[in-house]
Structure 1
Amino acid sequence: MPDAAVLNTPVARTSKRSLAPWYLSGPALVVYVSLLLVPLALTAMLSFNAFDGTKGILPTHTLHNYIEIFSDGYYHEIFLRTGGLALAVTVLCVVFGVPETIILARMKSPWRGLFLVVILGPLLISVVVRTLGWSILLGNKGLINEMLLAIGAIDSPIRMVFTMTGVVIALTHVLIPFMVIAVWATLQKLDPQVENAGLSLGASPATVFRRVILPQILPGVLSGSIIVFALAASAFATPALLGGRRLKVVATAAYDEFLSTLNWPLGAAIAVILLIANVVIIIGCNRLVERRFKQVFDSGAQDA
């Protein structure tokens, strides 16, 4: 057995301290690898399998699934629709979520806590339930159309169910709490004295917001945008219930391949491409925005 004095040497103690983070993060790392990385790796491997309508999944490997997706205009339309949907939802969440969070942060107790619960309360309700509620509100005989007809704003009901407009509205409602949470966390670090100093030096409220507040909450806005974009691009329940069978997105297309046609390799290829596209777009936008704002801030600092 090793001597106790050897185990208590500075080198041994340093070695133990260097391994301590690995010991502490080990269980979480095991869960992450087993529940996320391994299924993703198996899905990627499945996407290269061949498929036959009568024999099912074949043991041979091919690039046919990816070639079919990249060469078929049907899938091009689905991916473009999904990207447009995710972008529209992200923009709306930024437009409504950022001012909403700023107003919320400036409220006094107990109103701030009350409205924070109202905004984040929908997260406690299933996405399916919220989507069904929106289908009732947006229907031809729903509350929104009935109100517009009652005040004479429209002559006939507006079709919003099974349209992109309805899906965007419902997804914005579903995902805007994530934007609020991200911006709220950043606003808690904002020193109000800095804003007051800008106002006392003669800057207008718009200038203070653009030069003082926005740069400080930008990381939260960017984090919230990334979360919202990724969740909107991979959303399934809301597009399936409000979009119907015709308005397909990538998630519903993969679902149909897995459970309707039973072409698991093609469905896996669709899922892999969606994952890669999400990662590439998010990283690219992150780098572009960071570089752009760094140039703006550097030029502003030089002018000052």
Structure 2
Amino acid sequence: MEPTMAEASKGRIPYLLSLPALLLFAALLVTPLVMTAILSFQNYDLTTGVIDGVTLGNYRDALSDPYYHTIFLRTIGIALATTVLCVLIGAPEAYVLSRMQPPWRSIFLIVSISPLLISVVVRTLGWALLFGRNGVINQVLGALGLGTGPIPLLYTVHGIVIALVHVSVPFMVISVWASLQRLDPKVARAALSLGASEATVFRRIILPQIIPGILSGSLIVFALAASAFATPAIIGGRQLKVVATATYDEFLGTLNWPLGAAIAIVLLVVNAAIMLTYNNLLERRYARTTR
């Protein structure tokens, strides 16, 4: 039976309601990405800049040069380390917060997400002051007699990871917290009354239900860490480059916009591939667990 005109018009209502958001999304995100992709295929001359013509040379340079291989591997490694640490810190933190009683729960939740209230540049500059050879951390360690000299934290990969974890943990806490709010506390209490231990309740009941929150938080953290610019630029300095700072240098340093656009598109594709693969693997495992 064919749908009536009233049913057809009713079925179009969700699309019509979402049209303004789709247009805004296309104007602010899709259009710049398309323009960047077009720019990445253009030629470049050292004397005249961007010139007419289509070439794959920019992608060949980005994918074949060992210099960019090192930068991409460093960026992915930093993003993975940041994501793992955020899961190990943020998921238990959200669980502990969910077990607190008012008003302490609200107070500590605000404290946990308070880094989001401060500019990322200000937070990173604060870490730079802490990480310096004469910074607070090395001064405290020296006063306690720990170590034979200043610990190198500034201009190092682990310094970047520490600063990115501080920036990204609130996103993990919020994601896991949202999953915990959908849990029925009666189920856990019933399991405890039947003789299950706290560890068993967490492993068999709570953890499978918060995996979607951990998954979404991990994707957010990985995307933010892989594309971060301010934190690696300040903590890593000019020598320890990641993809975002390398792209910035190509655009505003050498003025090779096509190569910078190609590097940005490669980072986007690599991020999307890693995130989709991670998403599919965890969703399959979650489906097997719940089944």
CA distance in 1, matches of 2:282, 2:18: 32
Aligned ranges 1:1-304 → 2 under 5 Å: 11-298=4-291
Shift of 1:139: 1.2
Shift of 1:141: 1.2
The C-alpha deviation readout for 1:52-93, integer Å capped at 9, x for no partner, is 101111111100011111111000000000000000000000
CA distance in 2, matches of 1:262, 1:55: 11
Amino acid at match of 2:91: V
CA distance in 1, matches of 2:15, 2:92: 41
Bigger Cα displacement from structure 2, 206-215 vs 229-238: 206-215
Shift of 1:192: 1.2
- Following TM superposition, where does structure 1 have runs of at least 4 consecutive aligned residues deviating by more than 3 angstroms? 293-298
Amino acid at match of 2:116: L
Shift of 1:42: 0.7
Q: Is the 8 A contact 2:192 2:201 kept in 1?
A: yes
3-state secondary structure, aligned to 1:152: coil
CA distance in 2, matches of 1:281, 1:190: 29
3-state secondary structure, aligned to 1:17: helix
3-state secondary structure, aligned to 2:16: helix
Bigger Cα displacement from structure 2, 196-205 vs 163-172: 196-205
Amino acid at match of 1:136: L
Sequence identity, in percent? 60
TM-score by length of 2: 0.97
Query: How many residue pairs were aligned?
Result: 289
Q: Which residue of 2 aligns with 1:3?
A: none
The C-alpha deviation readout for 1:168-189, integer Å capped at 9, x for no partner, is 0000000100001100000000
Q: Is the 8 A contact 2:97 2:109 kept in 1?
A: yes
CA distance in 2, matches of 1:142, 1:99: 30
Structure 1: gaps spanning 5 or more residues: 1-9, 299-304
Structure 2: gaps spanning 5 or more residues: none
Amino acid at match of 2:40: S
Shift of 1:23: 2.0
CA distance in 2, matches of 1:213, 1:91: 20
Shift of 1:297: 4.5
Q: Which residue of 2 aligns with 1:301?
A: none
Q: Is the 8 A contact 2:211 2:286 kept in 1?
A: no
CA distance in 2, matches of 1:108, 1:202: 24
Cα RMSD (Å) of the superposition?
1.2
Shift of 1:292: 2.7
The C-alpha deviation readout for 1:27-66, integer Å capped at 9, x for no partner, is 1111001111111011001100011101111111100011
Shift of 1:296: 4.3
3-state secondary structure, aligned to 1:208: helix
3-state secondary structure, aligned to 1:155: coil
